[in-house]
Structure 1
Amino acid sequence: MNDPRKVDIYSAEHKRDPFQFYAFLRSEAPVFEVGVPVLKRAWLITRYDDVVLCLQDSDRFVKNASNAGLRSPKSMPWWTPASLRTLSENMLDLDDPAHRRLRALINKAFSRARIEQLRNRAEVLAEGLVDRMRAKSKPDVIEDFALPLPLTVISELLGLPEEARPRFRKWTNVFLGARSEIRMALSLPSIFALMRYLRRLVATRRRTPRDDLISALIAVEEGGDRLSENELIAMLVLLIIAGHETTVNLIGSGMLVLMENPREKERLIGDFSLLGSAVEELLRFTAPVEIATERYAAQDIDLRDTTIRRGDVIFPVIASANRDAQKFAEPDRLDVARRPNPHLAFGDGVHFCVGSHLAKMEAEIAFGCLLRRLPKLSLACPAHELQWRAAPVVRGLKSLPVIT
């Protein structure tokens, strides 16, 4: 392998196949420091047990930079406008008790019952998208199915107007693609536009509430406590991005993997009762979220003969943990019936993904519909020609052209 210190973990080249790199680190350097744009340096934690430790030990591995002795998050350069710093007031970037407070409020509004009400709507959407794919001469799984399904579902759940949804995708793409200080600076107009739009939408919902999640978040109360305006905007930005990004990547990469593993694809088509376990396996195998968002060392930490200093940035690598042979038998083999499957695709500990149920429901509907309606689906180009997105944290395809 080339010098691992020179690997750009945000690059499209790395995203194509990060698993060999992480296998090398698990074996030779399970706690490994790399150069990272904006953050400068970060520790990669790659073994399953260590990743679990990092995700669960929220006293030593903290989310709020101030709890590690820093003035501000290292992901926000000194020139970041104060109005954008309010985005850090989301529960993903906070520690308890602030995190616990926000999570209690979102759980009350973002209930499983509210999500289940979307099941029939998601099924109808999926069927309609497949109809459109079959009518196209050059269908693309990402553009024609994997993107519009979860984006429409989260938009309808939140109450985002239909005409604004293409702009939300554009804004979130810019947000997620800000992998250098220059790109961050160039992304500012889009982020400002997103926040302005959300503030206007929240003001409208305050005057005229509807049966949607934005109205529910405005109204939700726990022990006399409510979300502040900044907390609400930060929460909405998080829900819009996380509410569709993981699922887009999962559906796209998952269909690619199934086409590359025809035995498992046929096995699933022959027994759709395996859909639940297949989704869990595709989450493990494809790494739609490659790396958990950064943690900070609240104190000096000795791990695997390496000392991580207080204030250092730490990346728990989910994609690596989910291929660890110490935890999974034949980890590089796809098994749609794998049980047990203790993957970490949605994280672990207090920050376990609040939207995991929604993502899995959408994925089961998506794979079931695609495989039932388009059982002969195949790639329209060689796999090595597919383009992967260059981005921090997530892993997904730009496009997936197919033959139906």
Structure 2
Amino acid sequence: MHQNDEKHESNQNNAYTNANFFTAAFTQNPYPVYEKLRKDDPVFKVMFPQGEFGWIISRYEDAVQVLKDSRFSKDMIKRYGAEHQSIFSSNMLFSDPPDHRRLRGLVQKAFTPKLVADMRSHIQSIADTLLDHLPSQETMNLIDDFAFPLPIIVISEILGVPTEDRDKFRMWSNTVIDASTAKSPELFEQHEREFTEYLTAWFAKVRKDPGQDLISQLVIAEEAGEQLTEKELLGVVSLLIIAGHETTVNLIGNGILALLEHPEQRDLLIQQPELIHQAIEEMLRYNGPVEFSTSRWASEDIEFRGQRIAKGEMVIVALDSANRDEEQFKDPKVFDITREKSAHLAFGKGIHLCLGAPLARLEGEIAVSTLLNRFPNMRLQADVDTLEWRPGMIVRGVKEIPVQLK
């Protein structure tokens, strides 16, 4: 994130403890910790914020292996039992084959590269309209005024839910994303209940009058039998609403922030707009929107890089660490939009590769290009070190980014 990561480096020796993780300083800039981990302790056992011991994988090569290894299960029911399952875990992200293939197959046809590409002009229209109707043409909060509404409008239209309910979706989404650091389990349960009631009522409406949207297709599939259970329908739709905007919000926010921190790169992109595809890939690599993979659990005792991972233990890949691995990327601390296409892990790897990656890339390209075309002199209105990063262990993003537009 910072042009000079070294100034934030810890003076501690190789030994790392839980005190190095999940602090305000770590959330602000985790990269010095990751660099030490990759060098000294790449498969590291830690106490996660929710109170469970597990392993953090920090090197690129190891990350790829874990993400593709079927011995690391994603199924929460196998690990914790059905009584601990919530609607937010009844989907393809937290399932193993063959359930994973069945659940993913029902929705992936809505996110094919061709269908996504056909949405370009409509997404461009949404971006233009949002910027046309800014409260001020002099300043804005990049997140609230642009980075959040753009993807939530897009995914709401795909699913068929009202865009006027986007503030509710944001509230529910924040509760799920920040669950690892949540102070109130009661709030999580309340929001889960509200989200469930909202979707259940919407499904009932769709059953009476189905349309061409994705929820209608999923409800019809459920009605046909053997496709989705009611809980799976809730799980898949809630995942699409949450994941369908969270990744893109932080791709846009982190990406623009990187350009504002590196004005020579911003100027280069303005001069050579054809670099936008490479620029988006570098934004995803440099300070990616998903910091950690979601949880996996060892389905058996596994010897991995000299460590014994016991059956049932949690394993999480530090995606943003893998994307800064010196063994995989030349000058990984450097933000360079001319970098050759890199096999970053921002969208994961293997069978759980992010379903919405083509859509997120397209939205990111349109959002960044439109902002730079409209406001080429845009600049940050705050010291980057004072920006507040979101808590939680999944997404990496800033709560607010105040910018001067002209």
TM-score of the superposed pair, with normalisation by structure 2: 0.91
Cα deviations across residues 265-324 of structure 1 (Å, max 9, x unaligned)? 111111111111110110011121001001101111222221111110000110111000
Match of 1:153 in 2: 154
Distance 1:266 1:136, change over 3 A: closer
- Alpha-carbon distance in structure 2 between the residues aligned to 1:102 and 1:39: 30
Q: CA deviation at 1:228?
A: 1.9
Correspondent of 2:44 among 7, 15, 32: 32
Deviations 1:358-389 (A, max 9, x none): 10010000010011111111011111111111
**Aligned mate of 2:75, from 44, 64, 70:** 64
Q: Which residue of 1 aligns with 2:298?
A: 297
Partners of 2:341 and 2:387 in 1: CA distance: 32
Q: Once the 2 structures are TM-superposed, how far is the Cα of residue 185 of structure 1 from its aligned partner?
A: 2.7
Report the CA distance between 1:131 and its aligned residue: 2.6
For 2:219, the equivalent position in structure 1 comes to 218
1:71 Cα shift? 3.9
1:200-232 C-alpha deviation (Å, 9 max, x unpaired) = 1011111101121111222348x9742222111
CA contact (8 A) 2:93 2:352 kept: yes
Equivalent positions of 1:236-315 (< 5 A) are 236-315=237-316
Q: Tell me which residue corresponds to 1:185.
A: 186
Equivalent residue, structure 2, for 1:165: 166
Residues 242-391 of structure 1 aligned to structure 2 (within 5 Å): 242-391=243-392
**Quick one: structure 1 residues 218 and 113, their matched pair in 2 at CA, closer, same or farther if it must change by over 3 Å?**
farther
Equivalent AA in structure 1 for residue 154 of structure 2: V
Give the partner amino acid of 1:150. Answer: P
Tell me which residue corresponds to 1:392.
393
CA contact (8 A) 2:296 2:316 kept: yes
Query: How far apart are the structure 2 equivalents of 1:117 and 1:220?
Result: 24
Q: Distance in 2 between matches of 1:259 and 1:35?
A: 35
1:139 aligns with 140
- Provide structure 2 residue ranges, at least 5 long, that are not aligned to the other structure: 1-9
Per the TM alignment, residue 134 of structure 1 is displaced from its structure 2 partner at its CA by: 7.8
**Cα distance 1:86–1:172, how it changes in 2: closer, same or farther (>3 A)?**
closer
Q: Is the 8 A contact 1:141 1:252 kept in 2?
A: yes
Letter of the aligned partner of 1:176 in structure 2?
I
Rounded to whole Å, the distance in 1 between the matches of 2:255 and 2:22 is 20
Q: Secondary structure at the match of 1:139?
A: strand
Q: Which amino acid aligns with 2:49?
A: P
Q: Residue 81 of structure 2 aligns to which amino acid in structure 1? A: S
In 2, are the aligned partners of 1:388 and 1:398 still within 8 Å (CA)?
A: yes
What is the CA–CA distance in structure 2 between the aligned matches of 1:357 and 1:385, rounded to whole Å?
Answer: 32
Q: Which amino acid aligns with 1:372?
A: N
* Deviation for aligned residue 1:264: 1.2
Unaligned runs of 5+ in 1: none
Measured in 1, the distance between the counterparts of 2:121 and 2:226 equals 33
Distance in 1 between the 2:379 and 2:155 partners? 28
- Find the residue that maps to 2:294 and give its secondary structure: coil
Query: Structure 2 vs 1, CA of residues 128 and 108 (structure 1 numbering), >3 Å: closer, same or farther?
Result: closer
- Return the match for 2:31 from 10, 15, 19: 19
* RMSD over aligned Cα atoms: 2.1
Residues 12, 387 of structure 1: 8 Å contact kept: no
Structure 2 CA distance, aligned partners of 1:177 and 1:261?
29
SS at 2:86 equivalent: helix
**2:4 matched to which residue of 1?**
none
Instruction: Tell me if the contact between 1:118 and 1:153 (Cα under 8 Å) persists in the aligned partners.
Output: no
State the 1:38 CA deviation. Answer: 1.9
CA distance in 2, matches of 1:163, 1:142: 17
Could you tell me which amino acid in structure 2 is paired with residue 100 of structure 1?
R
- After the TM superposition, list the runs of 4 or more consecutive aligned residues in structure 1 that deviate by more than 6 angstroms: none
Query: For the residues of structure 2 that align with 1:39 and 1:301, how far apart are their CA atoms?
Result: 22
Displacement after TM superposition at 1:157 (Å): 1.1
State the percentage of identical aligned residues: 40
Report how far residue 180 of structure 1 moved.
Answer: 4.2
Q: CA deviation at 1:15?
A: 2.2
CA distance in structure 1 between the aligned counterparts of 2:27 and 2:312, rounded to whole angstroms: 28
User: What is the one-letter code of the residue matched to 1:45?
Assistant: I
